[in-house]
Structure 1
Amino acid sequence: MALKMHGALSSSALGSMLGTTGEAARQQLARLAEDGLVTSTTQARGVGRPTQSWSLTPAAQARFPDTHAALTVQLLDIVRSSLGDAALDTIIAARETDTRAAYEAAIADRTSLRDKVAALADLRTAEGYMADWREESDGSLVLIENHCPICAAATACQGFCRAELDVFRAVLGPNAEVTRDEHIVSGGRRCSYAIRETDA
C-alpha cells in the first residue's frame, strides 16, 4: 500500500514510513521480490553508496481493486460493435453529466480553489482512486490519483479519461486551469493533474 501510494521508495524511507527499521523493511521487500511483487533499481547519487529504490511490479498492481474489469470491457466492446461509436460516446457523455452533477453538489459550499481540490480528492478516494492533493511552492495545486478502479474500461475506451478531465475543469470552475501531467493508461504510475488559478 505504501509503494502504491508513494511510488518507488528506498528500504530506509519505507521503514521510517512504517515505523520500523530500514533493515526490517528490506527483508520484507526481499520476500516480496521473491514473489514477483516488487522490483528494485539502483541509482547513483553523487558521493557514497548508490540508493536502491523499490517499486511495485505489474503483478502487484493487479492485486488492487479493478471494478469488474473483464465484464466492463466486454460490454464496451459489445456496445461499440453492435451500436457503433456514437452510442459509446452517448454513454460516456451521460456518465460525465451524472458525475459532474454529483461533484458540483458535493462541493457547492467550497469557495476557494484549495478547498474544492481537497473535496475533489475526498470524492475520488471514496470512488477507489486513492486520491490525494498538495500545494506546490508556486501556489499551484496537484491532484494525485494513485489507483484507477476503471483502468480496464479507460484502456479500452479513452473517452472515459477525456470525460474525467472535462469534469474536473467544469467542477473547479473557469478560474482554474487543469492539465493532466501523468496518466496511468499511458504507462504512468499514477494520474496527476496540475491545477492553477487563472484570471478567466
Structure 2
Amino acid sequence: PMGIGIWYEMFISDPVSFLFKNTDPRGSLEANVSNTTVRCLSNMKLSDMLETRHIMSRTVRDEVSPKSHEWGYKLGSVYIRKVHFRDQEMIDQIEEKVVNRLRQVTSAIRQDGANQVGLVTSTAELQAAVEFAKAAAIRPRIVGDALARVAADKEVSDALFEVLETQRLAESNAKVTFLPAGNMLAELLAAQSSAVVPTVEGPPTVIP
C-alpha cells in the first residue's frame, strides 16, 4: 500500500576487497539496504516512521555494515526521502494522526505559555507582597524616630502639637469664639450663660 524512497551513503573501507572480492558492490549494498529497510519498517510504528527516522537509520546501518565491511565498503547514514501511500484509507488515517498530533503540540505550547505567565505573575505578586510587608514594618520605626527628634526640642514639639490641635479644630467644623486675655468679657459671658433659666411657656428668661 505504500512506496518508500531511501537515500544512503557508501564509504570504501578496503579498496582491495572492494575491487576484487565483489563484482557488483553497489548492487549488493543496494539489495542489503532494501531488504533490511523493508524488514525494519515492517516492525516500526507508523507514527515513529513519520516523526523520527533515526531509529531506522541506526538499525539498517548496524545490520548492513558488518557484512558489507567484508566486501570492502561500509554503509553511512540512511534517510527516508519520500513516502508514497496508495491506500486512501491509510492516507485518511495518517491525516487524522497528523491533525491530532498538531492539536496536542499546540495545546502543549499554549499550556506551557499559560504556566509561564502564571509563574511570572505569582512571582511578581510575591515580591510586591514582600516589599509592602517590609514597608509596613519599617514605617512605625521611621515615625517613632521622627517623633523622638521632634520631642527633643521643646519649642518644635510645642509648635507641632499646637498646629495639630488647630488642624483638628478646623476639621471638626465646630464654632470657635476667640476671647482676648485679661478681659471681663469672658466672665460676663459665663455668668450670662449660667443665669439663663428655661421655662415651659415661653423663651428663656434672663435673671438680672
Rg larger in structure: 2
Structure number having the greater strand percentage: 1
- TM superposition score normalised by structure 1: 0.24
Structure number having the greater helix percentage: 2
- TM superposition score normalised by structure 2: 0.23
Structure with greater contact order relative to length (CA < 8 Å, sep ≥ 6): 2
